[in-house]
Amino acid sequence: MQPRFILIFALIATLGLPAEANTLVVSEVRGGCIVVFESGFTVHLTGVSIPGPDTQIGRLAHDFAKRRLERKRVAVFTWTTDNTATGIVRGEDGLAFAKVVYGEGLSGKGAGGGTDIAAELLELGYARVDSDHLPDGYEHYRDLERYAKDRQVGLWASAD
């Protein structure tokens, strides 16, 4: 990926410009929390941790995210510290962290509509909050995790 594209992408994603400027098509979902786009750009979902694919919940999370995202156009918002490409927050593997939103409302008038896949995974109990990669403004993720715990779904299901 060329540095100019990264800089433009980071600026668009963090400034909240219209969705046409920051939408990509998902080519693959890996393990439920890694999203690969047709352009080759690959991200971790920001603020969540999903069990490995060798667990039942990990498989459910992966299948769920795959059905929702693969071959679909989504809005992508990279997590940055200073609105530049050099400020994109990355994991130890070098992959950027990003919020991925899919569904209705992604074209024409911005990404105000749509569904945050990470929030959905938390609500279903398929993910935990990753406090180490939870940007400011994402505190509602903790509420969604607590909601899943209270309902005892997914990771939080009681073993009878």
Q: What is the DSSP string of 51-113?
A: --TTSHHHHHHHHHHHHHHTTSEEEEEE-BSSSSGGGB-B-TTSPEEEEEEESTT-SSS-SSS
What's the pLDDT score for residue 32? 84
Q: State the virtual CA torsion across 68, 45, 27, 40 in degrees, nearest 10.
A: 170
| Phi, psi values for residue 96, rounded to 5° | -70, 155
pLDDT of residue 159: 56
Which two tokens mark 71? 């071959």
Q: Please say whether the beta carbons of 29 and 70 come within 8 A.
A: yes
Q: What is the pLDDT along the chain (160 residues), one digit of tens a residue?
A: 444 334 334 433 433 333 333 899 999 999 889 999 999 999 999 999 999 989 999 999 999 999 999 999 999 998 888 777 778 899 999 999 999 999 976 653 444 578 999 999 999 999 999 999 999 999 999 999 999 999 999 999 975 4
Contact (CB, 8 A) for 76 and 145: no
In whole angstroms, what separates CA 80 from the centre of its chain? 14
Boundaries of every domain in the chain? 3-154
Question: Would you state the pLDDT for residue 106?
Answer: 66
pLDDT at position 90? 92
DSSP-based three-state secondary structure for 24 = strand
Give the pLDDT confidence score for residue 110 in this predicted structure: 44
Structural domain 3-154, CATH architecture: Beta Barrel (2.40)
Q: Which pLDDT score is estimated for 82?
A: 77
pLDDT at 130: 96
